Amino acid sequence: MNMKYLKPFNESSTADADNLYKTALHYFNNHLNNDRALQYINKAIELSDKVSNPYYDALKTMIEERKAKPRFDNNEQQKEAIQELCDDYLAYLKDDNFIIRIVRSVPDSFFVYINQTGPEEYFTWSSVKNHIIPFFHYLVKDFTIQDNPKGNNERGISFICYDVFNDQTEKVKVDQILNDEIEDDKQIAGISIHIKSEYFMT
């Protein structure tokens, strides 16, 4: 069935919540009709068990945000915009053997990971903050950090830090970075960032 040619929304429809959700997702991801997508997801939420369908409310929020401020036509455009921001503000880190990875993280975020390659496994905050702080300043102006947990993944911003015994993940707030409230000598193996996607990913 080609969902692009679905009949107009009808409250008397006998479709189940999952089909309504998929229809809303189709309208949303293909930029067809935000109002129609919102109608379908509202009906899905009304019929659903929220505990077993955690993505329903998340999709509704994304549709409402799209209606208020659409910016990208698809995920690839948003990924390119994130890549451009990384290229503009983290270029000097790349010259120092840092790698910046940007991957789609299904269903609703982009995962950015910054780490150093070569003989040095760890770097200090003081060695990167002059690049990372300006990067975050512009990142949070243009994008939203995705800090809604997904399973065991807390998402948001994290430092993979080194201590005497092992590596450990430390959650970090945006304000801590922007206000330079990180210890200068903190040893970091990697910085992970989840950025909210304007589209659900399939």
Q: List the structure tokens of 92.
A: 């000097």
Whole-angstrom distance, CA of residue 172 vs CA of residue 200: 25
Residue 110 makes CB contacts below 8 A (sequence gap 6+) with 78, 79, 82, 102, 103, 104, 194, 195, 197
Query: Roughly how many angstroms between the first and final C-alpha of the chain, as a whole number?
Result: 18
Give the three-class secondary structure for 158: strand
Q: List the structure tokens of 140.
A: 């949070």
The reported pLDDT for the residue numbered 137 is 93
Q: Residue with structure tokens 């409402």?
A: 64
201: left (phi over 0), alpha (psi -120 to 50) or beta: beta
74: left (phi over 0), alpha (psi -120 to 50) or beta: beta
- Within 13 Å, how many C-alpha atoms sit on residue 19's CB side? 8
The reported pLDDT for the residue numbered 141 is 86
pLDDT in tens, the chain (202 residues): 344 444 454 544 547 888 899 899 888 887 778 888 999 999 988 888 765 677 888 899 888 887 777 678 889 999 999 999 999 999 999 998 999 999 999 999 999 999 998 767 789 999 999 999 999 999 998 899 999 888 888 899 999 987 655 668 999 999 999 999 999 999 999 999 999 998 888 7
Sign of CA dihedral 151, 201, 40, 143: positive
The reported pLDDT for the residue numbered 139 is 95
